[in-house]
Amino acid sequence: MTPFPRPFATRALACLALAGGLAAPALANEVTVYTTREPGLIQPLLTAFSNQSGVKVNTVFVKDGLLERVKAEGTRSPADVLMTVDIGNLVDLVEGGVTQPVKSAALESAVPANLRGADGQWFSLSMRARVLYADKSLPITSFRYEDLADPKYKGKVCIRSGQHPYNTALIASLIAHDGEARAEQWLRGVKANLARKATGGDRDVARDILGGICDIGLANSYYVGQMKSAKEGSDARKWGDAIKVIRPTFANSKSGGTHVNVSGAAVAKNAPQRANAVKLLEFLVSEPAQAFYAETNFEYPVRKGVALDSITAASIGELKVDPLPIADIAKYRKQASALVDKVGFDQ
């Protein structure tokens, strides 16, 4: 995603930098972040952290093979913080033995229990909801994920590959809520309703709704902000303006919550600068940093009480998160992937 300068977030970061100038230590420290997210997305945050703490942040962009790289480096690894997207990737780091537990009152008070590891091995930093994009003319005001398999939507559904992490996480959540048999039945129903092959990206769902190929589809919430903030008259802006967005819930959940995936981070097992790593994570869940996530990347803050960006607030609204721990959802990822292949969803 390309960062967009947003006034509120800029002011928040300016306040952080100003406050930090009074407390910077005499001797500069360092912290090294291995990230699968483009560093440019969070560089203003890291710069503000450095201004506040006096800690220099070194970023290493690892597009693929983060776990394998840290394992190979072993005790010689310079990595202090491991930052990635998707709950599956976070759990893989823990199960791969390259993280360590953290006990922090600041992190535990800011990040809800269902959005962090039970033993402090990882913490969510921002959320993206899996929402429904629908043609603006449709009289839909509420939706359940299970409804996507309703025969009345035959030939009207667009979605990206079932094997994409965004969708395997949702399928894993359906397994957790409804059981594997019903999740398989749901997948078969959605496949039967597809207007085209399950492929492309999330913004392509909005594009194809505008093009009349389909009426509805699932996609991530932050793409709405990207499209609606694009230049007037651009293709992306037309796609965003063609849809309305609904926060789905699960049929068998009494909570009425919506499925989310996360970006998050963990402290590396062999972190040379452990204290600075924890300090950085605590900064990233502070109110100004969380406001920056919302205003710049159109993501939902994990910290309660932080305002949404204006586009997300107007187009999607406040999010009620499915309370099922996302770590529990991640346990069903392999089953979800196997179901996608079993029903030939992407074929």
- Ordered by where they begin, the domains of the chain are 7-127+261-313 (3.40.190.10), 128-257+320-342 (3.40.190.10)
Q: Average of pLDDT values for 165-193?
A: 97
Average pLDDT in the 36-54 region?
A: 91
Q: How far is CA 154 from its chain centroid?
A: 29
pLDDT score at 13: 53
Position 346 scores a pLDDT of 97
Token output for 196: 């085209």
Distance CA 8, CA 15 (A): 11
Residue 268 φ then ψ, to 5° = -65, 145
pLDDT greater at residue 174 or residue 40:
174
Question: For residues 237 and 244, is the Cβ–Cβ distance under 8 A?
Answer: no
List, for residues 13-42, the tens digit of each pLDDT value: 554 544 443 333 334 499 999 999 888 888
187, 339 contact by CB (below 8 A): yes
CB atoms within 10 A of CB 22: 7
Output the pLDDT for position 256: 85
Is pLDDT above 90 for 255? no
What is the Cα gyration radius of the chain?
20
Centre a 10 Å sphere on the Cβ of residue 40 and count the other Cβ atoms it contains.
12
pLDDT at 9: 53
Q: CA angle, corner 248, sides to 243 and 249, nearest 5?
A: 175
From the list 230, 222, 178, the residue with the least C-alpha distance to 201 is 222
Q: Using 50, 70 and 90 to split pLDDT, how confident is the model at 209?
A: very high
Whole-angstrom distance, CA of residue 209 vs CA of residue 159: 11
Confidence class for position 321, pLDDT limits 50, 70, 90: very high
Distances in Å between the alpha carbon of 287 and those of 4, 6, 12? Answer: 19, 16, 9
Token readout for 163 is: 């094997």
Residue type, 236: A
Q: What would the two tokens of residue 261 be? A: 């995936």
Percent of the chain with pLDDT over 90: 88
Does the structure show a pLDDT above 60 at 247? yes
Q: How far apart are CA 50 and CA 31, in angstroms?
A: 10
Task: Give the pLDDT mean for 119-137.
Answer: 97
φ, ψ for residue 107, nearest 5 deg: -70, -45
DSSP conformational letter for 295: H
pLDDT band at 12 (very low <50, low <70, confident <90, very high): low
Averaged pLDDT score across all residues of the chain? 92
Percent of the chain having pLDDT more than 70? 92
Tell me the CB-side half-sphere exposure of residue 75, using CA atoms within 13 A: 0
Whose structure tokens read 């537990």? 101
- pLDDT confidence band for 4 (50 / 70 / 90): very low
User: Which letter does DSSP use for residue 308 in this model?
Assistant: P
Start-to-end CA distance of the chain, whole Å, equals 28
Mean pLDDT of 264-276: 98
What would the pLDDT profile of 273-309 be if each residue is shown by its tens digit?
999 999 999 999 999 999 999 999 999 999 999 999 9
